[in-house]
Structure 1
Amino acid sequence: MATILSLSNVNKNFGALTVSDDVTFDMPEGQALGIIGPNGAGKSTLFNLIGGTLAVSSGTVQFAKQDVTRVPAAERCRMGIARSFQIPHPFVGMSVYENLLVASSFGNSGHHDAKAECRDILDRTGLLPKANRPAGSLTLLERKRLELARALASGPKLLLLDEIAGGLTEAECHELVETIKGIRDSGVSIIWIEHIVHALTAVVERLIVIDFGKIVAEGEPSKVMADPLVQEIYMGISVDDTAA
């Protein structure tokens, strides 16, 4: 299986503060990878380094066998890296459908029928009935879905999800997990940062744990969550029995 993403000895420093410490891993195409760690561990910084909104201090980032270490974020998006953010910030004065058209127009570099693809994405993410509503009128779950839909509209090969389940009820979280499973099953590679571990392990095949910017554990989710070091890092965080 081809490698979609490869990080080699990636470091990010802000002065004397190291927020990514020699991060190295390969990700096969089509895999769903989860990343967990305490607040401040460097998870979102890692996404910024992969997506290109932050420059690495040292090391290399390869995407689809191309060195993208110095490639700007906008170009990485056109190459096929898309992400959602923890706090959705849609264009509130535009309709849900118009939000997707903007993402498709600026992010998707391939020849495509943007209108048809956006309608399909709205259907897949459960937003088709809300297509003509102002984005500012959506509930939190709907905004999370719109954040996901906008990322999909850019035509990603690799989708970065940053705590997309945060703030949702258990039922809403379950709905979102089913949507993400469908995206995974369509062949899109996924890296998902999440504190709701039972949601994460329902989707991902592999788990990486980061603490103080370093990878401290990696592997099959149930084995990783049984690691005493991981349990110590997550002391006080409730982990679903199915993930233990």
Structure 2
Amino acid sequence: MTTILSLSGVNKHFGALTVADNVAFDLPEGQALGIIGPNGAGKSTLFNLIGGALSPSSGAIFFEGRDVTRKSAAERCRMGIARSFQIPHPFTGMSVYENLLVAAAFGAPGSGGGREVCAEILERTGLMGEANRPAGSLTLLERKRLELARALASGPKLLLLDEIAGGLTEAECHDLVETVCGIRDAGVSIIWIEHVVHALTAVVERLIVIDFGRIVADGKPAAVMADPLVQEIYMGIAVDDETA
């Protein structure tokens, strides 16, 4: 199976603080990978390293066999890496549809991110009825759906999802899981950070646990969650906690 993303000995330090400690893993093309860990474990930092918002102190990141370690977030987006953010920040003065058009304009060339594709994404993410509404007037669920839709509009091969289920009701979470499953089944590779573990394990086929910037477990979700070390790390942590 082709590897779409590879991290090799990735470290990130802020002075004496280590937030990524020798992180290494490969992501096969088309795989859905979940990442969990306690607050402050380094999960969002890992996304910032993969997406290009941060550069590693050492180590290397490869996407589709190309070294992207020093490439900017914009360059990686054009290559096919897209992400959502834990706290949605849409262009509030623009309509939902216009938000997607902006993402499509700056996404991967040749991804087909024109008007027809944006309309299809609105339909897929349940936002077609809100297409002409100002993004600033959306509910939390709608903003999270817009965050996902904007990422999709950039034409990703790899989609990074940062706690998109946090703060949703059980019914809203179920709907979101169905949407993400559809994206996975369409062949998009996914890495999903989430505290709502039951939502995560309904989608992913592999789970990584991070603690103090290090990978402490990696494998099938059921086996990872049964690991005594993982259970100890998660003791007393609410799975629907929204903070990273």
| TM-score when normalising by structure 1 | 0.97
- C-alpha spacing 1:193/1:112, structure 2 compared with 1 (3 Å): same
1:237 Cα offset (Å): 3.1
Aligned length: 240
| 2:102 equivalent to 1:94 | no
SS in 1 for 2:13: strand
What is the RMSD of the two structures over their aligned residues, measured on CA atoms?
Answer: 1.1
Deviations 1:114-170 (A, max 9, x none): 000000000000000110111111110000000000000000000000001011111
Alpha-carbon contact 2:7-2:60 (below 8 Å) kept: yes
Match of 1:221 in 2: 221
Match of 2:55 in 1: 55
- Identity between Structure 1 and Structure 2 (%): 80
Deviates more, 1:149-158 or 1:103-112: 103-112
For the residues of structure 2 that align with 1:88 and 1:196, how far apart are their CA atoms?
17
For the residues of structure 2 that align with 1:162 and 1:142, how far apart are their CA atoms?
16
Match of 1:127 in 2: 127
For the residues of structure 1 that align with 2:161 and 2:179, how far apart are their CA atoms?
13
1:111 Cα offset (Å): 5.8
| 2:183 equivalent to 1:193 | no
Match of 1:15 in 2: 15
Alpha-carbon contact 1:108-1:153 (below 8 Å) kept: no
SS in 1 for 2:55: coil
- C-alpha spacing 1:155/1:188, structure 2 compared with 1 (3 Å): same
Q: Which amino acid aligns with 1:236?
A: G
For the residues of structure 2 that align with 1:111 and 1:76, how far apart are their CA atoms?
14
Alpha-carbon contact 1:163-1:194 (below 8 Å) kept: yes
Mark the runs of 5 or more structure 2 residues left unpaired by the alignment. none
For the residues of structure 2 that align with 1:31 and 1:45, how far apart are their CA atoms?
21
Match of 1:104 in 2: 104
| TM-score when normalising by structure 2 | 0.97
Mark the runs of 5 or more structure 1 residues left unpaired by the alignment. none
| 2:43 equivalent to 1:43 | yes
